[in-house]
Amino acid sequence: MALIENIREILNNVGVVYNYQNKNDSRLAVNDRQGLLYLIDNVFEIYPLLTTNQRNRYNLLKTTLMNGTTHFKTLEGYEEYKSTFMLSNSVVWDLVELYESGNLQVDNWIIGFINGEGCFYLNKGRCSFMIEHTDKNALDLIKHRLNIGPSVLERSARSRDEGKARKTTYQLNISSKKDINTLIAFLDNKENIP
């Protein structure tokens, strides 16, 4: 809870912190127009979201706020608005190109992404790391930034996936000693937020 309160203070006290009674967990929710506009101007326009899905959802929220939309009469009306917006405004960035141009600071973002999506594990006694996501572009950026060997691969369907609708996901698997050491050095770099 103290961490969430600290984040809220840094964000000019926007939003409300909710603490769960049945588990040691809390969340920060920003639901008011002024708070959302503050976050747009002071966070997301300075530190853009990098995955395509999150960026598209953010742009939908931003456009809706800027247009002054306060509600939709029906769920179908919202879905129609959303699909029209996504068709006309979905932009895919080449993250590696943005990084190479110097227009993207990514080290702390990568650490956060790894924290949320990555997995260290032992495979036949060898340390390995795997990260899986629906945004291949994000994994390509991580591979490029770390200058590691393995390719980003499309995850093949597994037998448990048969008959299920599932999004295509991509994996970056690191198992060579050299690449694992590169990842460890990156994560241990004191200039990055742990």
pLDDT tens digits, residue range 89-146?
666 677 777 777 776 778 888 999 999 999 999 988 889 999 999 889 999 999 999 9
Q: 145: closest CA among 99, 93, 94?
A: 99
Residue 131 buriedness (CB in 10 A; 0-12 / 13-18 / 19+): buried
CA 77 to mean position of chain CA atoms: 28
Mean predicted lDDT score pLDDT of the chain: 87
Show the beta-strand stretches assigned E in the chain.
16-19, 26-29, 118-123, 126-133, 153-154, 170-174
* Total domains, the chain: 2
Q: Are 153 and 174 in contact (CB under 8 A)?
A: no
Any domain includes 56: yes
Q: What is the pLDDT of residues 36-52, one digit of tens each?
A: 999 999 998 888 888 88
Residues in the chain: 194
Look at residue 97 in the predicted model and tell me its pLDDT: 79
Q: Are residues 74 and 105 in the same domain?
A: no
pLDDT above 90 as % of the chain: 45
* 3 state SS of 135: coil
Q: 187: closest CA among 113, 99, 127?
A: 113
Q: What is the pTM of this model?
A: 0.73
Domain boundary among 92, 120, 153: 92
Look at residue 47 in the predicted model and tell me its pLDDT: 82
Look at residue 103 in the predicted model and tell me its pLDDT: 67
Domain boundary among 34, 57, 92: 92
Domain residues for the domain of 182 are: 98-188
